[in-house]
């Protein structure tokens, strides 16, 4: 929420300065070189905020929490048991032309807690592809906003 407010508030100083100048409330300053310098500095700072700060700092925090990398960084730890493994086909080609592997998993946050089934399209690393089988337990992370969106921690899986 704070990020949204910051994003909206970024243009307020520039907008206020331009309105004050356009309505004549800045007096003779409106016709001086100082006004032009301040105007362009405010425009520049606003553009830096909208084109540098927002896309790379604020937007990923607002909209990127359930990306694969975001889930691995900030997701809740859980365990998953692979129920079934199957190739989804070449229509879902991923990294280096290798198809994603379709995994049906039962996910459990902690021992004895509620479990649920998740259908997951995973890009399994080359060294792990032979070890993936039904009945296998794998560590997963769960998206904080959507418990059906998971990421498998392949670096923690034994080969």
Task: Give 12-64 pLDDT, tens digit per residue.
Answer: 776 777 777 777 777 776 677 887 888 788 778 877 877 777 776 666 666 65
Q: pTM, whole model, 2 decimals? A: 0.56
* Sequence-separated (6 or more) residues with CB below 8 Å from residue 6: 58
- Shared domain check, 89 and 40: no
User: How far is residue 153's CA from residue 137's CA, in Å, rounded to a whole number?
Assistant: 11
- Shared domain check, 74 and 122: yes
Give tens-digit pLDDT for 78-124: 999 999 887 655 445 566 666 678 889 999 987 767 889 998 888 88
Q: Looking at 63, 94, 109, which one is the last position of a domain?
A: 63
- Shared domain check, 138 and 72: yes
- Shared domain check, 91 and 44: no
- Shared domain check, 77 and 151: yes
Strand spans (E) along the chain: 76-87, 101-108, 115-122, 137-142, 150-152
The CATH number given to whatever domain includes residue 104 is 2.40.50
The bridge status of strand 150-152 relative to strand 137-142 is antiparallel
Domain that holds residue 35: 2-63
Report the number of distinct structural domains present in the chain: 2
């Amino acid at each position: 929420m704070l990020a949204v407010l910051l994003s909206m508030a970024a243009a307020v100083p520039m907008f206020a300065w331009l309105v004050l100048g356009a309505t004549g409330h800045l007096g003779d300053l409106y016709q001086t070189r100082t006004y032009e310098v301040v105007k362009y500095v405010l425009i520049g700072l606003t553009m830096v905020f909208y084109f540098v700060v927002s896309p790379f700092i604020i937007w990923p925090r607002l909209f990127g929490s359930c990306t694969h990398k975001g889930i691995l960084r900030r997701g809740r730890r859980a365990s998953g048991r692979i129920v079934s493994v199957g190739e989804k086909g070449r229509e879902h080609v991923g990294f280096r032309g290798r198809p994603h592997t379709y995994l049906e998993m039962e996910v459990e946050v902690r021992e004895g807690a509620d479990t649920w089934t998740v259908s997951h399209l995973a890009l399994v690393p080359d060294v792990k592809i032979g070890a993936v089988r039904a009945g296998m337990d794998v560590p997963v992370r769960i998206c904080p906003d959507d418990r059906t969106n998971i990421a498998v921690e392949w670096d923690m899986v034994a080969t």
